[in-house]
Amino acid sequence: MAAPSEAGASTGKAQGTGTPVPAVSEPVIIHRRRAWNSPRSRQQAVLLCLALPALIYVALFFAYPLYQDITISFENYGFAALAVGHGPFVGFANYTAMLTSGVTIRAIVNTVVFTVGSIVFQFTIGFAMALYLHRSFAMSGLLRRVMLIPWVLPLVTTGAIFTLIFATSNGLANELLRGAGLIHGDVGWFTSGYLAVAAITVANIWAGVPFNAVLLYSGLQDVPNELLEAASVDGANAWRRFTRVTVPMMRQVILIVLMLGIIYTVKAFDLVIVLTGGGPANQSQLLSSWSYTQAFSAFQFGTGTAVGNILMVFTFLVGMIYLLISRGNVTVGGGR
C-alpha cells in the first residue's frame, strides 16, 4: 500500500479534507524554465536593460517635470509657495485669467506674426542660398562654413548685435534708410510695439537662415541628377525642373525643416528679452517671453506655467500635423 503522502500527491487532494489541490506537473516547470532560458527571452531581457537608462532619463527629466508643470498651472503658485512646494488649488483660474488678459491676446498675435514672418523669409532665403551653394564654383566650401556663423552664435549675442543695429541714434538700420531717402529723421524701433516685433523678427530671420540653408542643401544632395537631366532633355526649363522634380523629391526634408523651424521659432524668447524686454508696455511680448515674465519677474508661477502650457499644446499640434502629413506620403508597399 502506498504511503499517505504519496497517495495525497498522486490524487492531487489535501489529506484529511478531500479538497482538490492544483498540482504543477514537472514537464510544465521544465517548459517554463526552457522558455525563460530561450534565446528570445534573453534577447528581450538584454534589450530591456539597454533601454532602462533611457527610460529612467525620460521619467526624471521629462515625465516628472511635465507632471509638476501641469500641477503648478492649476495652483495659485506664487513666491510664497516655494517654501512649502505647493499652492492652493484654483482649477482653471490661471488659464482663464491668461486667456482673457489683453497682454496674452497681444502675445498670441505677436507670436503668430513673428512665427509666420520668420518661417516664410527663413525658408525662402535659406532655399535660395542652398540652391546657389549647390552649384560648383570657387570657394563654395568656405562660403558654406562662413554661412554658419549666424546660426552658431548664441541668441543673446545676436540680440546684442541687433540692439546696436536698431538703435534710434546712429543705428545701422536708420542710417541705411536715411541714405536711401526713405526716412528723414530717426525711427524709434523700440518705442512702438509693432516696430519692436518687426525688429525682433528681422533678427530671428538673420539667425535662422543658415539652419534652413544647411538642411535644404543636404536634401539637394539626394536629388538624382539623372532626373534633372531627363527633364531638361524633355524640354523643361529651370523653373519647371525645380517645381516638378526638385521640390517633390525633397518633400520630406522640406517638412522637417518647416516643423523644426516652427518649433524653434515659437519658443524663442532670448531675442525678446535682450532687444525689448517685452516693451514698450508689454506690446512686444511673445507667448514664450510672457510666460518667462510671469514666472520669473512677477513670480506668478501658476499663470506663467499656464501660458507655457498653451505654447506647448501649439507645438504638440505642429508635431501631430507633421506626423499626419508624413503618414500620408507612405504607400502600401512601404515606399515614399
The CATH number of domain 102-254+268-285, selected from 3.40.50.720, 3.30.420.10, 1.10.3720.10, 3.30.70.1450:
1.10.3720.10
Indicate the domain borders of the chain.
102-254+268-285
User: What cell numbers appear for 297 in the block?
Assistant: 519677474
User: What cell numbers appear for 202 in the block?
Assistant: 528681422
Give the pLDDT of residue 333.
35
Sign of CA dihedral 193, 199, 201, 207: negative
CA-nearest of 98, 67, 102 to 295 is 98
Tell me the DSSP string of 202-259: HHHHHHHHHHHHHHHHHHHTTS-HHHHHHHHHTT--HHHHIIIIIHHHTHHHHHHHHH
Task: Report which DSSP code applies to 129.
Answer: H
Give the angle subtended at the CA of 27 by the CAs of 24 and 33, to the nearest 5°.
Answer: 95
What's the predicted TM-score (pTM) here? 0.80
pLDDT tens-digit profile, the chain (336 residues): 444 444 444 444 445 455 555 554 555 555 555 555 667 777 888 888 999 999 999 999 999 999 999 999 999 988 788 878 888 999 999 999 999 999 999 999 999 999 999 999 999 999 999 998 888 777 777 888 888 888 888 888 899 999 999 988 888 999 898 888 888 888 889 998 899 999 999 999 999 999 999 999 989 988 888 888 898 888 888 899 988 889 999 988 999 999 889 988 988 888 999 999 898 999 999 999 999 999 888 888 999 999 999 998 888 888 888 888 877 654 333 333
Cα 153 from Cα 131, distance rounded (Å): 24
